[in-house]
Amino acid sequence: MIINHPLLGQRDSSEFTYLGDAKLIERPDPDSETATHDFYKYAYLRDNPAGWHKELWFHEAGDRSWLVVTRNTLTHEISKVEMARDVAREKGRRR
């Protein structure tokens, strides 16, 4: 698979390590009443869809940036690559 890095252009996927579902960006609030259960769901449960999947890839052998890759798990086709930073900021995260 080739990942079209927003800053570096086309890179082989073997330069990256894979973390999984991009929902991991949305960390639950540790101060919430339901934090224990929220963190269980956050850490252990996954949608695991067959089809389009937004996922986190880390450019370990490159610029060490985190990317959000939109990829089809049935065909391995990649339709979109974004900087994880930008995605997180759009969701209202400051860092």
Partner 1 sequence: MRYSGFQVIKQALNNHKGWKPAWRDSEPQPHYDIIIIGGGGHGLATAYYLAKEFNGKRIAVLEKGWIGSGNVGRNTTIIRSNYLLDGNEPFYEFSLKLWEGLEQDLNYNAMISQRGILNLIHTDAQRDAFIRRGNAMILNGADAEMLTTAQIKKRYPYLNTEDARFPIKGGLAQHRGGTVRHDAVAWGYARGADSCGVDIIQNCEVTGFKIKNGKVLGLETSRGFIGAGKVGCAVAGSSSRLMAKADMRLPMESHVLQAFVSEGLKPVLAGVVTFGAGHFYCSQSDKGGLVFGGDLDGYNSYAQRGNLPVVEDVCEGGMAIFPAFGRARLLRMWGGIMDMSMDGSPIIDKTHIDGLYFNGGWCYGGFKATPASGFCFAHLLAKDSPHPLATEYRFDRFERGRMIDEKGMGNQPNLH
End-to-end CA distance of the chain: 30
Q: Tell me, by CB under 8 A, how many residues bind partner 1.
A: 27
Residue 49 binds partner 1 (CB under 8 A): yes
Can you name the residues that pair with 20 across neighbouring β-strands? 56
Residue 43 binds partner 1 (CB under 8 A): yes
31 DSSP assignment? T
Smallest distance, partner 1 to C-beta of residue 22, A: 11
Residue 80 binds partner 1 (CB under 8 A): no
Q: Are 55 and 78 in contact (CB under 8 A)?
A: no
Q: Are 66 and 9 in contact (CB under 8 A)?
A: no
Binding site for partner 1 (CB under 8 A): 1, 12-14, 17-21, 37, 40-41, 43-50, 53, 55, 71, 73-76
